[in-house]
Structure 1
Amino acid sequence: MKRIPRNRNVRQFHQAKWDEPVIFELHQPGERGVIPPSVSEEVAAAVGDAEACVPQGMLRSQPPALPEIGQARVLRHYLRLSQETLGSDFNVEIGQGTCTMKYIPRVNEMLIRNPKITELHPLQDESTVQGMLEVYHRLDLAMREISGMDRFTFQPGSGTQALFAMASIVRAYHEANGEGDKRDEIITTIFSHPSQAATAAVKGYKIITLYPDKDGFPDLEALRGAISERTAGFVVANPEDTGIFNPRIREFTDLVHAAGGICYYDQANANGLLGITRAKEAGFDMCFFNLHKTFAAPHMCGGPATGALGVTERLAPFLPGPLVETDGTRYTLNRSPAQSIGKVRMFQGVAQTVLRAYAWIRALGPEGLLDAAKVAVLNNNYLYSRILKIPGASAPYVKGGRLEQVRYSWERLTKETGITTEDVQRRMCDFGLHYWTSHHPYIVPQPFTLEPTESYSKEDLDEYVSALEQIAKEAYEQPDIVRSAPHNSTVHRIDESSFDDPAKWCITWRAYLKKTAPLEAGIES
């Protein structure tokens, strides 16, 4: 097949491949990575028999069955795995739209690797962690200024946990006012994150979903029709996951408040709003920020993340504890705030993530935060102007400027060439670039969602657009190149049919064995 000339701005890339087994398969009896020294006589005399301090029921009858592997073998194993990983440090990571993949200052990474942080333990006495408690308190104060809220907690481990906590606070508030049984409906929008509806549903609420008007804004008249004496709350992202900002949001929150409902705000991504607009002035009673998005901490696949949850004064008694308190000289943990909804996660949040975010805010200051928002919006609108010139690409709904991201569409490309957004996604792998479609359901047909943040230069954005231009050219002239992609990756095509079938999901090793054993034996599961 004759190859189409490649755009000179597109980077050459080939994914590394190692036939690397899992760590357990590297086990070699007798190999050792580290041989700890024997306990000295002085230590033994001072400590005594440590095993005697452990209850008999908690003692192992035999050592744990861990792989025995030498240091060199372990080092090679994990370095090889790292070479097979394409992450934000390796490529122009604007394709993970809505997740705000920005540059994380390495000085902040050095900061959180200080032993004073790495050796902290959440069960330490408060007197030994005064410095870290002060950081929690100071970040709380900064978040209050950024949002207009009156109190923050950093306990939620993600945006979804923060949304769950907010839905719990809505229920606790109405129950405290004797309306818990009466108010059983939460209103949200189709372009808000699916976790908004899901977390409210877990709390037992009926979900009412608003669809967009012709310009992509939540339909205000539909909201009027949805509000009733059963309305418990309204949850929305603004801008929504399309990148469209609703300038009439205060009308929405005023309507819900007039009906006795609580308004809470998904600000997981606030990258285009810092220093420009606040949750308080928009009429919200609660909001949350993902520190692992807007505030330059690693996303880390939902691991050590933090959903910073802020509330107005009337909802503060319901916050999950513990909360950091201070009398001006000493910091303490209020483990059981009055009327608290209880914990949504252990302890008071991830110290390293809190410290990163605090350091980022302090380094930038108010003017720097505002500049970050302005550059993020500028980058996004430059990208927007260029992508709309690519044959087959479009951006549905409101025309003109967008905020910090855009949900685009390849609908025309698909109709004219048969190439889908998933085909484009796989072809992007050949250029060493990540590309994301959108949350299901696909309200925008053949979607792809991009968010350049403030971290990327014009040259970075041009490289990304060049790859999209190359793929669109291939789609029209030789679509088989795109349809058979990726060509330079270690995995070419996968069967995605099981993604939407929970009966086929294997979240744990035990579930995998349970579901695959009957198939291997020729028995239908």
Structure 2
Amino acid sequence: MTTYNSLLFEISKPGRKGYSLPETEVDQTAVADILPAHLVREEPAELPELSELQIMRHYTGLSNKNFGIETGFYPLGSCTMKYNPKINEDIARYSGFAHIHPLQPEQTAQGAFELMHRLEENLKEVTGMDAISLQPAAGAQGEWAGLLIFKAYHQANGEGDKRRKILVPDSAHGTNPASAVVAGYDVVEIKSNEHGRVGIEALKAAVGPDTAGLMLTNPNTLGLFEVDIVEIAEIVHEAGGLLYYDGANANAILGKSTPGEMGFDVVHLNLHKSFSTPHGGGGPGSGPIGVKDYLKAFLPSPRIEKTAEGFTVSRDHPQAIGRVKGYFGNFGVNVRAYSYIRSMGAEGLQQVSEDAVLHANYLKARLAPYYDTPYQDHCKHEFVLSGMRQKKQGVRTLDIAKRLLDYGFYAPTVYFPLIVEECLMIEPTETEAKEELDAFADAMIEIAKDAENDPEIVTGAPYTKAVRRLDEVTAARKPVVTFQRNSAELKR
């Protein structure tokens, strides 16, 4: 095994250094003279000691182990792992964007304000909303902010204490009920009908004077368009509730329809999904929210406003829910999204959705003979399969996902949504070539045949990775998160 596949501590040697510093002319004051005695180390910290080349090989080796959209097909359902054009990365690094500071005088940041204003205008058109806030830093934070707007609206109408329930379909993203709870609401689950859509009768039975609103994704998490959306909106509005649009799946409707046309009152967008900025994954994201006119007063503050003299920051919004993120969200992400929208144009964005829907339906048609398809309708940008047929041979959905790694593909989302047993959730996006889609389909078909004829090949996978099957339960319950030189878990 090469040394750069080892831990830094394993290749460390006392006295080895990766740097050489010149002598300093600054007087050195002993640490003991500055810090309290109980904070002074009695012996040096045990840090790895390596040469510069060893360090470079170690971290380069780690980076080569990473899987991303630029290294292979990434069909993670409901997450839209699409390619991020590098021109947008370059634009976000322009010195005028990269070197500004949020506290510099307004008159020196007019270009940044104008870009954000224009992005807001673009997103208003995309969503059919009347006002946009770029503050939320991610989709989940956008959900939370939108629900705070629900609460502020009902409180302004004197119904804040009465309207305590948020309705959430059983196929919803997990962030929906979580955001509702964090916002202080009680969650009521709405069962899907046999077609995988919101059950109208179940919805009618659930709404009432205590309903604050309904959270909905359209198309939903099964990849199906809610064909009864106008009736759904009417039912919620007649009960005095509001309708929230989870924009996670907007990649399927760009240029085709808008949440505003469907009857939604509040919307959030995941810019990393539909508008091709880097996916959050713990890093910077952006989840702007949009509202109809009658909710504009409650948007986060401060806000960017256009005046005759230019752009200014407005803070006088007494009904606003307040600030949900420092300044105006993650500016660099917003620059990338604006660049993407401008480069694609209206026709290009519509083509994005058309291609995403075409790709999903093509893959679904190719795989339907080999896997169970719980819903037969045409899908939008993503679809679900079930591994129930394979389960009868002793092969679980997790086994299928592990075996896909041997073919060089990232596995799709598994076991979600929860309403589909042995679920595989696949989203190919518009950025994949037909050859890549066919290669993925061929791999899935081969796995299905192996599950039928020689299931142990699948249940033993993966075979080509440095790490095989992990004891995920023990790893979650008893994690080892620090280096232990004599730890039995690290012995080879």
What TM-score does the superposition give when structure 2 sets the normalisation length? 0.89
2:163 equivalent among 178, 183, 196: 183
Once the two structures are superposed, the pairs formed by residues 390-409 of structure 1 within 5 Å of their partners are 390=370, 393-397=371-375, 399-409=376-386
2:359 equivalent among 376, 379, 390: 379
Report deviation, 1:148: 0.9
The corresponding residue for 1:464 is 440
Report deviation, 1:376: 0.8
The answer as to 2:350 corresponding to 1:364 is no
Question: In structure 1, what is the Cα distance between the partners aligned to 2:464 and 2:174?
Answer: 34
The corresponding residue for 1:426 is 402
Q: Deviations over 1:254-304 (max 9, x none)?
A: 111111111110012211100101011111111011001110111141311
* 1:412–1:27 distance in 2 versus 1, CA, 3 Å: same
The one of the two structures with greater contact order (alpha-carbon pairs below 8 A, sep at least 6) is: 1
Q: CA RMSD in A?
A: 3.0
1:81 equivalent among 39, 62, 76: 62
The corresponding residue for 1:296 is 276
Contact preservation (8 Å) 1:253, 1:283:
yes
Report deviation, 1:222: 0.7
In structure 1, list runs of 5 or more residues that go unmatched.
1-15, 41-55, 521-525
The answer as to 2:328 corresponding to 1:348 is yes
Greater shift in the superposed pair: 148-157 or 328-337: 328-337
The corresponding residue for 1:495 is 471
* 1:396–1:330 distance in 2 versus 1, CA, 3 Å: same
The AA in structure 2 aligned to 1:357 is A
In structure 2, list runs of 5 or more residues that go unmatched.
27-33
Once the two structures are superposed, the pairs formed by residues 86-97 of structure 1 within 5 Å of their partners are 86-94=67-75, 96-97=76-77
* 1:216–1:39 distance in 2 versus 1, CA, 3 Å: farther
* 1:91–1:17 distance in 2 versus 1, CA, 3 Å: farther
* 1:476–1:124 distance in 2 versus 1, CA, 3 Å: same
- 2:269 aligns to what SS in structure 1? strand
Once the two structures are superposed, the pairs formed by residues 432-447 of structure 1 within 5 Å of their partners are 432-438=408-414, 442-447=418-423
Question: In structure 2, what is the Cα distance between the partners aligned to 1:487 and 1:155?
Answer: 45
The answer as to 2:210 corresponding to 1:230 is yes
- 2:112 aligns to what SS in structure 1? helix
Contact preservation (8 Å) 1:189, 1:218:
yes
The corresponding residue for 2:96 is 116
1:319 equivalent among 278, 286, 299: 299
Question: In structure 1, what is the Cα distance between the partners aligned to 2:395 and 2:100?
Answer: 52
* 1:124–1:498 distance in 2 versus 1, CA, 3 Å: farther
Report deviation, 1:76: 2.2
Report deviation, 1:439: 5.9
Report deviation, 1:203: 2.0
Q: Deviations over 1:145-170 (max 9, x none)?
A: 01111111122121111111111111
The corresponding residue for 2:29 is none
* 1:67–1:405 distance in 2 versus 1, CA, 3 Å: same
- 1:186 aligns to what SS in structure 2? strand
Question: In structure 2, what is the Cα distance between the partners aligned to 1:150 and 1:39?
Answer: 62
The AA in structure 2 aligned to 1:386 is R
Report deviation, 1:62: 8.7
Report deviation, 1:78: 2.1
Question: In structure 2, what is the Cα distance between the partners aligned to 1:24 and 1:335?
Answer: 55
The corresponding residue for 1:143 is 123
Q: Deviations over 1:28-64 (max 9, x none)?
A: 7684558699899xxxxxxxxxxxxxxx99xxx9999
Contact preservation (8 Å) 1:17, 1:490:
no
The corresponding residue for 2:5 is 19
Contact preservation (8 Å) 1:407, 1:448:
yes
* Percent identity for Structure 1 against Structure 2: 37
* 1:291–1:163 distance in 2 versus 1, CA, 3 Å: same
The corresponding residue for 1:452 is 428
Question: In structure 2, what is the Cα distance between the partners aligned to 1:113 and 1:68?
Answer: 34
The corresponding residue for 2:229 is 249
1:168 equivalent among 135, 148, 151: 148
Question: In structure 2, what is the Cα distance between the partners aligned to 1:24 and 1:235?
Answer: 51
Contact preservation (8 Å) 1:20, 1:80:
no
The AA in structure 1 aligned to 2:126 is I
The AA in structure 2 aligned to 1:396 is P
Question: In structure 2, what is the Cα distance between the partners aligned to 1:436 and 1:36?
Answer: 52
Contact preservation (8 Å) 2:218, 2:249:
no
Report deviation, 1:176: 1.6
Question: In structure 1, what is the Cα distance between the partners aligned to 2:206 and 2:3?
Answer: 54
* 1:72–1:395 distance in 2 versus 1, CA, 3 Å: same
Contact preservation (8 Å) 1:183, 1:229:
yes
Question: In structure 2, what is the Cα distance between the partners aligned to 1:35 and 1:325?
Answer: 51
Q: Deviations over 1:323-362 (max 9, x none)?
A: 2111144222224533121222222111111011101110
The answer as to 2:84 corresponding to 1:104 is yes
* 1:445–1:232 distance in 2 versus 1, CA, 3 Å: same
